[in-house]
Amino acid sequence: MTTIATHVEKELAKLPVAKVQDVLLARLVIREEASRLGFPALALTQIATAVSEITRNVVQHAGVPGHVVVCEVKENGRVGLRIAVEDSGSGIADVDRVLAGTSPGAGIPGCRRLMDELLIRSRPGAGTSVTMMKWLAST
């Protein structure tokens, strides 16, 4: 028997990230969407904390506005939340050092621990993209 992988995404929100108020709004909207999907209290706190950290990085370090997109993901019978934060700003010179916690940006390794998946792509002068996933526990 052959199993066919399924992957369905539904965009739930797309928000600008340019000022501190946008960080707070993103945190609130994404927490509400995660709650609606059925994430438990601990996961809601983890998601909100990671969103706050990454969007705050855009405001403080990118030098240009960015945006955050949140999607509901259904993949092979499981449900999750994908959060993508992007900017076209100053970028990160050494992503590996940031992920290792050996350079400024200690919040990023913390986000990786809070979320189930985290992917970061960045180039100096070309911006940064951080994609985070949190999966609902199987029932």
pLDDT tens track of the chain, all 139 residues? 555 667 899 999 999 999 999 999 999 999 999 999 999 999 999 999 999 999 999 999 888 999 999 999 999 889 999 999 999 999 988 888 888 877 666 688 999 999 999 999 999 989 999 999 999 987 5
pLDDT in tens, 104-117: 666 889 999 999 99
pLDDT in tens, 78-111: 999 999 999 999 998 888 888 887 766 668 899 9
Q: Rounded to two decimals, what is the model's pTM?
A: 0.90
Domains of the chain: 7-135 (3.30.565.10)
CA distance 10 to 70: 9
